[in-house]
Amino acid sequence: LDYQHVQVPFEITLWIMLASLAKIGFHLYNKLPSVVPESCLLIFVGLIMGGIIYGFNDRSPPVMDSDIFFLYLLPPIVLDAGYFMPSRPFFENIGTILLYAVVGTIWNVFGIGFSLYGICQVKSFRLQDVSLLHNLLFGSLIAAVDPVAVLAVFEEIHVNEKLHILVFGESLLNDAVTVVLYKLFRSFCEMPTIKSVDVFAGIGKFFVVGLGGVLVGLSFGFTAAFTTRFTKDIRVIEPLFVFLYSYLSYLTAEMFHLSGIVAIISCAMGMKRYVEANISLKSHTTVKYFMKMWSSVSDTLIFIFLGVSTIGENHEWNWPYICFTVIFCLVWRALGVLVLTFFVNRFHVNTITSKDQFIIAYGGLRGAICFSLVFLLPDFHRKKLFIAATTVVILFTVFVQGMTIRPLVDLLAVKRKRESAPTVGEQIHIRFLDHLLAGIEDISGHWGQYYWKDKLEYFNSKYLQKILLREYDQPKSSIVLLYEKLERKHAMELAQAGQLGHGLAHPSFLCSAFLCSSSDRTVIRDQKLEDTPNPDVLDNMQEILARNLYRIRRTGPAYNRHTLPGDSEPTERAKEILILRHKSL
Amino acid sequence: LDYQHVQVPFEITLWIMLASLAKIGFHLYNKLPSVVPESCLLIFVGLIMGGIIYGFNDRSPPVMDSDIFFLYLLPPIVLDAGYFMPSRPFFENIGTILLYAVVGTIWNVFGIGFSLYGICQVKSFRLQDVSLLHNLLFGSLIAAVDPVAVLAVFEEIHVNEKLHILVFGESLLNDAVTVVLYKLFRSFCEMPTIKSVDVFAGIGKFFVVGLGGVLVGLSFGFTAAFTTRFTKDIRVIEPLFVFLYSYLSYLTAEMFHLSGIVAIISCAMGMKRYVEANISLKSHTTVKYFMKMWSSVSDTLIFIFLGVSTIGENHEWNWPYICFTVIFCLVWRALGVLVLTFFVNRFHVNTITSKDQFIIAYGGLRGAICFSLVFLLPDFHRKKLFIAATTVVILFTVFVQGMTIRPLVDLLAVKRKRESAPTVGEQIHIRFLDHLLAGIEDISGHWGQYYWKDKLEYFNSKYLQKILLREYDQPKSSIVLLYEKLERKHAMELAQAGQLGHGLAHPSFLCSAFLCSSSDRTVIRDQKLEDTPNPDVLDNMQEILARNLYRIRRTGPAYNRHTLPGDSEPTERAKEILILRHKSL
């Protein structure tokens, strides 16, 4: 027997196997996952495992290594989150999300830090040796909402898309703030005196860490898209590039002390569109499937390890400190959400209801990131107290909040996610409204999100697509792509049912349905036309859509040495269909 | 900058990236891969990389670690090979393959070992300090044909299926022999005296190592199949089990000093059939795609590392020893193939032609396995000479033989692989002949391969499928599965061409074509019938096929306390259609 030789891969494989088998086990009993969130069950499995290890070895079981967590377990989950991020609701609510992620997190950090410092001043609690800086440091690691925990719970309760993206987006983007504050306070702890310059440098760092992450991510994302232009002859390694480049973006960002989470999300969101167009259908299935698989395993491992690491002798128990930590975490988050939402609602028509606010506040789950950060703290005499408090907060949020959030959502009748995908007719309407609003914004001189979206789309089709796409000559609108996808799915279903000979939803019919805008997928499929096929109709339809939609005037810079204001070229102006029609009338 | 923190994953990712980009680069110039095998190009890239590292660092570049090779790089390639192994030609030629792999390898080891010892006796060569045991040890590592190198070259030259499986099967199965001989001689080198008991123990070990590997592999394979029965609710982690269980089988075998390669191949071949039936179509695409991707990257990395490791100061040059090693490798292999094939041809109708024999002898490429084994040798004063000789043999076989084998195949007009997949008609005929031959073997009392195949099939459908398949109530014949696959592919093609409304190849028509046995896929697709679909016809057709094919008599044990010989139950006998009809006549 030569166990030494194979130990490392063998144990890794066994842990992954345990995680996968645990997942299967839970799903065998259908009733269990509907009552208890999977994350709780996994932590429970971890606690049992930890207990067994502790019982046999008579010493604390191995603690989840922070390096393993940040380098190997976290990236797959964040990559998956970024790649499958619904970009429309995300960008529609980006302002609100950033407000929650940046201002909200800072609010929580200082709120929790200062109030815990207040608690430490009470003599009978015997906590007077915990300084303000240490409390703020603890606040910075306990304040951040954890994307892994949030995903695990929110994926199961199916709240409406906006609510989901608000909590989830916040949990992802607060990484930049957490990283900065945590490192800032940690370095302050080690400095003899703190100058005001350092504080301002810290504030400047927010932007460097966040925007730097975005830049690193986007550059790797575009490189990935560019690389997949050349993989036509070796389809089989296409999926690899998606994983390699996103992982590199994460590692590079971490290397330069930027936000790795922000980097990998930008990378995934940046490359997705182009990579999907370049790689083959099977490669894309593999990418999607493997990403889901990987993140699901990572997620499982993290919760099991959380459970295992809880068992042991790392804890120093102090009732008041731990209880007040839990209370302050809840109170400050609730207050922060209330105050911030008050301001958000003043500037938006589509307000956040008080029910939604409650769920946002209540959904602020803490998880493995806090746990890893607390173990990364430099050694000082109260570290074990912080570890105990962090563990309790995590277990409280995951177990109590995680298990009660579903009944609460039911009780409050929070608006749920719509079950069905949007119909073709709805998609047409949404797109039409986008163009209409862009036109209105352009005419009224208000540069809102639709204006910028249109500008970005223009930049994309004019420059990016030419560089990043292999087959640029056939740019397809999202509707045509959707149509193709539906047809493909339909064909597969028919082939599986063995009814390929039936009359089918027909392209030409579908197009006319598109144009009259009252179509619905079910209606289409019920109709059976025996027409001859005419794929040209599709192109026609696409052209009509493209020609008749409003285009924003490509305004030049306000001041130009060589042209007078308003002296735009006539050919440019010819494209502005609406204005042109106006004139002809 | 914090490079230390991310170093390990960063450098691994960069190496994989380099490998993938190198692969893309070669395929950009279409002419290059058709002249030079990819393996040569990759070694060349490795040589350049090694030169650069050597130039900058002024010391030998890192040598490919044997542990990394055996634990991480080799398993994906072997798994891929085992999973996609064409089982029919493999089992048809299993006797010949085993003869080459076991007897042939032993022949080569002792041939090369003893003749090199003869060379060492020549005084002017200054090699008298190399003992016979060391020469045999060197022979045991240099004799084994390398599956990675063979795959890399033979995948590109497309020789006929039988020739391919002979060389490739040998390269896989000789692992058991190599492991045993290598470890035997290495332990002999360290022993003061060798008893004859040890030699016999060594011979006994062959069977333990080989059959032990098969047992470990099959048990993990069946466990994997059994596990995928329960993954219906979490499709997303299905592919994981295929990888986890096969890797565990490899590691477990290695742990017990059994043949890991044999184990992982048995595991893959054992599980494939059941896993495919249990997991979803998308999971299966992911499994196949990821396996190919992984093995392709491993393969690339191995050749690049081979090149990198060649550069450096590990070599001791001795012209006669190195030249004679190359010559003996070639001569003994050629002799071995000639002698063994002489015996094989005496017992087979379908003989191995002399052209095929030449290609088998010439295709005995050495690769990374030899290279890793030579670095694993215990330190002794001539180790550097062995390293140099091994490197030269590998480079000689990969470059000279690898680059000339394609022109030689063309020149000799070796029978090529047929380009198209077998038509439905051919498949029917092959299956019909199988049953016919099983019947003939049964009547004539000769228990040949068809008899055993039928027995195995019976055991499979009676016991294994019930335990390992989720939906046992719908056992589908291979023809029906093939038909479904064709239909699905056809539907996809039609959906992509936007012609889903056309008249299509129709199930009922296809069935009638099946039955008249003269059908061809192209014929079917040209016909356009406007019938109504009737999936029942498929079932009918399957039933007719199943009812009219000969079944071997299920003979009971020769002696039974409770029954007389020949006293089989009438219901059992009712199944023996042919015999029944005979009686009725």
B496 contacts on A by Cβ (under 8 Å): 484, 488
Clarify whether residues B340 and B464 are in a common domain: no
Q: What is the full DSSP assignment across A516-559?
A: HT---HHHHHH----PPP-HHHHHHHHHHHHHHS--------S-
Contact (CB<8Å) A495/B502:
no
* Same domain (yes/no): A226, A93: yes
Say yes or no to pLDDT of B553 above 70: no
**B chain contacts of residue A504, beta-carbon cutoff 8 Å:** 500-501
Residues with Cβ within 8 Å of A153's Cβ and at least 6 positions away in sequence, in order, are A37, A39, A363, A365, A398, A402, A405
| Per-residue pLDDT reduced to its tens digit, B493-531 | 666 665 554 434 444 334 333 433 333 333 333 333 333
Distances in Å between the Cα of B31 and the Cα atoms of B22, B25, B36, B37, B408 are 15, 12, 9, 11, 19
Say if residue B434's pLDDT is above 90. no
Question: Do B95 and B115 sit in the same domain of this protein?
Answer: yes
Q: Is residue B47 included in any domain, yes or no?
A: no
User: Is A232 a residue whose pLDDT tops 70?
Assistant: yes
Percentage of chain B surpassing pLDDT 70?
79
Q: What is the structure's pLDDT at A184?
A: 85
CB spacing of A492 vs B496 below 8 angstroms: no
Helix then strand then coil, in percent of chain B rounded to 5, is 75, 0, 25
Together in a domain, B130 and B262: yes
DSSP A576: -
Nearest CA-CA distance, residue A416 and chain B, Å? 23
Domain annotation covers residue A565: no
pLDDT in tens, A101-117: 999 999 999 999 999 99
Cα dihedral B122/B127/B130/B131 (nearest 10): 20
> Chain-wide mean pLDDT for chain B?
79
| Helix (H) and strand (E) counts in chain B | 29, 0
Final residue in a domain of this structure, among B375, B390, B412: B412
Query: Could you tell me which of B302, B308, B363 has the C-alpha nearest to residue B44?
Result: B308
Give me the pLDDT at residue A544, please: 55
What is the average per-residue pLDDT within B417-440?
A: 74
For chain B, what is the largest distance between any 2 Cα atoms, rounded to a whole number of angstroms?
A: 90
pLDDT at A60: 67
**Residue B116, domain CATH:** 1.20.1530.20
Mean pLDDT of B80-93: 87
Place of tokens 């990888």: B243
Judge whether A214 lies within some domain.
Answer: yes
| CA B528 centroid distance within chain | 41
Average pLDDT over residues A474-479: 56
Yes or no, beta carbons of B297 and A498 under 8 Å apart: no
Same domain, A286 and A430: no
Structure tokens at B570: 């009438």
Is A558 among the domain residues? no
Nearest alpha carbon to residue B81 among B171, B163, B161, B143: B171
Encode pLDDT of A515-568 as tens digits. Answer: 333 333 333 333 333 333 345 555 555 555 555 554 444 444 444 444 444 444
Q: What integer pLDDT is reported at residue A506 of this predicted model?
A: 40
Q: From A486, which residue of chain B is nearest by alpha-carbon distance?
A: B495
- Give the residue, B284 or A505, on which the prediction is more confident: B284
Nearest CB among A13, A234, A490 relative to B27 is that of A234
- As a whole number of angstroms, the distance between CA B177 and CA B110 comes to 12
**Residue B281 binned pLDDT confidence (cut-offs 50, 70, 90):** confident
Taking CB atoms and an 8 Å limit, are B532 and A72 in contact across chains?
no
- What tokens were used for B431? 């299956």
Q: Whole domain around residue A165: which residue ranges?
A: 63-293+314-412
At residue B529, φ and ψ (nearest 5 deg) are: -105, 145
Pair B381, B134: CB distance under 8 Å: no
Let me know if residue B374 belongs to a domain: yes
B529-543: pLDDT as tens digits: 333 334 555 555 555
Share of chain B above pLDDT 90, in %: 22
Lowest mean pLDDT among A251-255, B234-238, B422-426: B422-426
Which strand (E) or helix (H) includes residue B457? helix B449-459
Q: Do B354 and B461 belong together in one domain?
A: no
Phi, psi for A251 (deg, rounded to 5): -65, -40
Query: In terms of domains, do B455 and B382 share one?
Result: no
The least confident of A1-5, A60-64, B389-393 is A60-64
The residue among A284, A286, A539, A540 with the most chain B CBs within 10 A of its CB, best to mutate, is A286
pLDDT at A581 over 60: no
Q: What is the mean pLDDT of residues A492-500?
A: 63
Mean pLDDT of chain A: 79
Distance of CA B139 to CAs B65, B133, B279, B396, Å? Answer: 22, 10, 45, 17
Same domain? For A389 and A439 the reply is no
The pLDDT value recorded for residue A553 is 47
Test B67 with A5 for CB contact under 8 angstroms. Answer: yes
In this predicted structure, the answer to whether residue A327 has a pLDDT above a threshold of 90 is yes
Same domain, A357 and A405: yes
Nearest CA in chain B to A15: B244
The answer on A122 and A69 residing in a single domain is yes
> Residue B577: pLDDT above 70?
no
Does B69 share its domain with B200?
A: yes
pLDDT, tens digit (0-9, with 9 covering 90-100), for A5-36: 888 899 889 989 988 898 888 888 767 777 78
Q: How many angstroms separate the CA of residue B549 from the nearest CA in chain A?
A: 26
Residue B159's φ and ψ, nearest 5 degrees, are -80, 175
**Beta carbons within 10 angstroms of residue B503's beta carbon:** 11
Of B469 and B476, the one with more pLDDT? B469
Closest CA to B329 of B70, B129, B146: B146
Helix extents (H) in A160-318: 161-190, 196-227, 238-255, 260-278, 281-310
Give the pLDDT band of residue A237 (cuts 50, 70, 90): confident
Residue B546 within a domain: no
Highest mean pLDDT among A24-28, B159-163, B313-317, B529-533: B159-163
Residue in B with minimal Cα distance to A3: B255
DSSP character at residue B379: P
Check residue B424 and give its pLDDT: 67
Half-sphere exposure of B340 toward its Cβ, with a 13 Å CA cutoff? 26
Inform me whether the pLDDT recorded for B190 exceeds 50: yes
pLDDT value, residue A538: 54
**Alpha carbon distance B26, A229 (integer Å):** 15
Task: Identify the band that residue A420 occupies on the pLDDT scale cut at 50, 70 and 90.
Answer: low
Residue of A nearest to B66 (CA): A5
Q: For residue A422, is pLDDT > 70?
A: no
Query: Which residues of chain A lie closer than 8 angstroms to B72, CB-CB?
Result: 9
**For residue A8, which residues of chain B lie inside 8 Å, CB to CB?**
71
- Residues A170-225: pLDDT tens digits? 998 888 888 888 888 888 888 777 777 777 887 788 888 889 999 999 999 999 99
pTM of the model: 0.79
Question: CA-CA distance, B515 to B527, in Å (whole number)?
Answer: 16
Does a structural domain hold residue B402?
Answer: yes
pLDDT higher for B393 or A477? B393
Report yes or no on B70 lying in a domain.
yes
Q: End of a domain among B392, B412, B432?
A: B412
Contact list in B for residue A289 (CB cut-off 8 A) is 236, 239, 282-283, 285-286
Give residue B32's pLDDT: 73
* pLDDT value at residue B377: 86
A10 vs B495: CB contact, 8 Å cut-off?
Answer: no
Which of B6, B500, B535 has the CB atom closest to A498's CB atom? B535
Given a contact cutoff of 8 angstroms between Cβ atoms, the answer to whether A429 and A402 are in contact is: no
Mean pLDDT over B227-254 rounds to: 89
Q: What is the DSSP letter of A232?
A: T
Residues of chain A found within 8 Å of residue B494, distances taken between Cβ atoms: 491
pLDDT given for residue A503 in this prediction: 39
Q: Is B462 found in the same domain as B400?
A: no
pLDDT in tens, A130-147: 888 899 999 999 988 888
Q: How many domains does chain B have?
A: 2
End position of a domain, from candidates A404, A438, A471: A471
Query: How many residue pairs bridge chain A and chain B with CB atoms within 8 Å of each other?
Result: 211
Contact A17 B248 (CB under 8 A): yes
Per residue in B94-143, pLDDT (tens digit) is: 889 999 999 999 999 999 999 999 999 988 888 888 888 889 999 999 98
Q: What ipTM was reported for this prediction?
A: 0.77
